Amino acid sequence: MNQSPLPVEKVPSGIEGLDHITKGGLPAARSTLVAGTAGSAKTIFAAQFLAGGIAKLGETGVFVTFEEPPADIRKNMKGFGWAIEAWEAEGKWTFVDASPDPSLAAMPTGQYDLGALIARIEHAVRKTGAKRVVLDSLGSVFSQHGETALIRHELFRTASALRKMGVTSVITAERMEDYGPIARYGIEEFVADNVIILRNVLEEEKRRRTVEILKFRGTEHSKGEYPFTVTNDGLVAIPLSAIELKQRSSMLRVTSGITMLDEMCGGGFFRDSIVLISGATGTGKTLSVAHFINGAAQRREKCLLLAFEESREQLIRNATGWGMDYESMEKAGLLKVVCEYPEVKGLEDHLIAIKHQIEEFKPARIAIDSMSALERVGSLKSFREFVVGLTSFIKHQEVTGLFTSTTPTLMGGTSITEAHVSTITDSIILLRYVEIYGEMRRGLTVLKMRGSKHVKEIREFNIDETGMHIGKAFRNVSGILGGFTTQLAQSEVERIGKLFE
């Protein structure tokens, strides 16, 4: 007895990222309940399901509204670029209006059922050949007609009518709280074979939206909560752990833009790798980024720079000070500088925006200066998800990534970024201040270089008008990384003689 049931066919949900989590989309010819608290984007989910069907697959849809009048839905969804009115004119989108209207208030005088509603839905589906149906929302049916055994029975009848018609449907339902009973009236989940929960939770004073596939009868899906966000194009889910770790890692090397650093790394960075540069303020992180960009430009490779700490003018001026001309690189189409305040949007939105930038510009390299500036935008959990989501996306694109991280203390120290990023990154380079006999110098070391030999010394470097120059290793000095340098006792002559051998 090892007969597996017929695989459940799935249809694209129209929601970017969600089909990764659902492993293919929503189960075809079945009902999926989408439950969430007020403001959890249920109606957008439902409308996007129809819009996606129309725009991407040419499947017509029927929107049954029990709550907002069609005029409001048309207006509210316009912002996502869905031309509902035009689709209605072409017979691709049909409203079945069951929204409450005070002028149609009716006196109940005995037994009744939802026969007219079901007949109207069937009529709309038949007339337009619809493949997708949305019911928004079940709670409003109860608030219009009372929560009676009769209405429960009628909802079952509606759901079974949908099943008989062979349409794929999304039914929305209200929840009172983000963690509690699946839906308000406790019966909604029995109406549908599949349940998706949308949450909108306040976490460390920040709103965090997540989507969870609670139940997909007889078919596979990813478990747990995944972040999602509402963009100008509608909902976008971020399928973190659903992303398969199948990045091809190549042995191809690319230059860091600094010859000596390439040597220290055993011949440059790997092309599909993520490099983290960590250091206190002023140690030369932004300069390292500039060399990275310059190195790419000299090899006619495109680079995307996302700057979260400095303005465009500052960046260009600083680069000019090191003899690098960002403006002419941009004119040549080899560089795109995007400057933004981290606080302008949530991390999920940053992630989506960065993905779009990469897809649009198609860079061979991407630099983020700095990653730690984004730490304060979201909760720790969101930040970790952001980093994981971004790194896996970058690796899929076969792009070399350079992230910088600012340490909170001048000497030594690590940041939250390092704690979350270091295990994901392939290489880590530390930039540190080194205090020697009352003088501040700068040291650089390659802490980690996955899959390659590398120089393990801490080397001194200088910065001048042509950029960064890496010199010899510090000798007779220890404790640099910890931030407490101690010089080994020896005669002054010996010290000077041997310090930078």
Partner 1 sequence: MAKYQFRLFIAGQLGNSLTAIANIKALGSQLLRGEYTLEIIDVLERPELADRERVTVTPTLIKDAPLPVRRLIGDLSHTPRVLAGLSLSAEEQARTK
45 vs 33: CA distance, rounded Å:
11
Q: Which two tokens stand for residue 52?
A: 């996606």
Q: Which stretch binds partner 1 (CB under 8 A): 94-102, 169-177, 231-239, 473-481?
A: 94-102
| 69/266 with CB nearer partner 1 | 69
Cα 204 from chain centre = 19
Q: How many residues does the chain have?
A: 501
Using alpha carbons only, give the angle 148, 152, 155 rounded to the nearest 5 degrees. Answer: 140
Q: What is the smallest separation between the CB atom of 70 and partner 1, expressed in angstroms?
A: 11
Among 5, 58, 102, 110, binds partner 1 (CB under 8 A): 110
324 vs 322: CA distance, rounded Å:
6
Say what angle helices 149-165 and 115-128 make with each other, to 10 degrees.
20
Q: What is the smallest separation between the CB atom of 188 and partner 1, expressed in angstroms?
A: 18
Q: What is the dihedral of CA 342, 346, 352, 358, to 10 degrees?
A: 10
Is-catalytic flag, 492?
no
| 141/237 with CB nearer partner 1 | 141
Contacts of 128 (CB under 8 A, 6+ apart): 60, 62, 91, 92, 94
Among 101, 205, 313, 501, binds partner 1 (CB under 8 A): 101
Task: State the residue for tokens 């490779």.
Answer: 301
163 vs 324: CA distance, rounded Å:
64
Among 1, 106, 149, 245, binds partner 1 (CB under 8 A): 106
Give the per-residue contact string, 244-273, with partner 1 (x = CB under 8 A; - = no): ------------------------------
Q: Which stretch binds partner 1 (CB under 8 A): 48-56, 102-110, 377-385, 472-480?
A: 102-110
Annotated catalytic residue: which of 67, 174, 348, 418?
67
Q: What is the smallest separation between the CB atom of 98 and partner 1, expressed in angstroms?
A: 5
Under the binding rule (CB under 8 A), the answer on residue 145 touching partner 1 is yes
Under the binding rule (CB under 8 A), the answer on residue 98 touching partner 1 is yes
Is-catalytic flag, 340?
no
Q: What is the smallest separation between the CB atom of 64 and partner 1, expressed in angstroms?
A: 10
Q: Which two tokens stand for residue 198?
A: 């949308």
Give the per-residue contact string, 172-201, with partner 1 (x = CB under 8 A; - = no): ------------------------------
Annotated catalytic residue: which of 189, 309, 348, 375?
309
Q: What is the smallest separation between the CB atom of 127 and partner 1, expressed in angstroms?
A: 9
Residues that contact partner 1, how many (by CB under 8 A): 25
Under the binding rule (CB under 8 A), the answer on residue 116 touching partner 1 is yes
| 38/119 with CB nearer partner 1 | 119
Q: Which of 385, 312, 402, 396 is nearest to 349 (CA)?
A: 385
| 151/277 with CB nearer partner 1 | 151
Among 5, 58, 102, 108, binds partner 1 (CB under 8 A): 108
> Could you give the residue ranges of the DSSP H alpha helices within 225-346?
259-264, 285-298, 312-321, 326-331
What's phi and psi for 81, nearest 5 deg? 80, 20
Among 28, 55, 88, 120, binds partner 1 (CB under 8 A): 120
Given a contact cutoff of 8 angstroms between Cβ atoms, the answer to whether 235 and 44 are in contact is yes
Under the binding rule (CB under 8 A), the answer on residue 109 touching partner 1 is yes
Q: Which stretch binds partner 1 (CB under 8 A): 40-48, 122-130, 341-349, 357-365?
A: 122-130
| 64/390 with CB nearer partner 1 | 64
458 vs 463: CA distance, rounded Å:
16
Beta carbons within 10 angstroms of residue 154's beta carbon: 19
Radius of gyration of the chain (CA): 29
Beta carbons within 10 angstroms of residue 248's beta carbon: 9
Given a contact cutoff of 8 angstroms between Cβ atoms, the answer to whether 212 and 203 are in contact is no
Binding site for partner 1 (CB under 8 A): 96-98, 101, 104-120, 122-124, 145
Looking at the annotation, which residues are catalytic? 67, 309
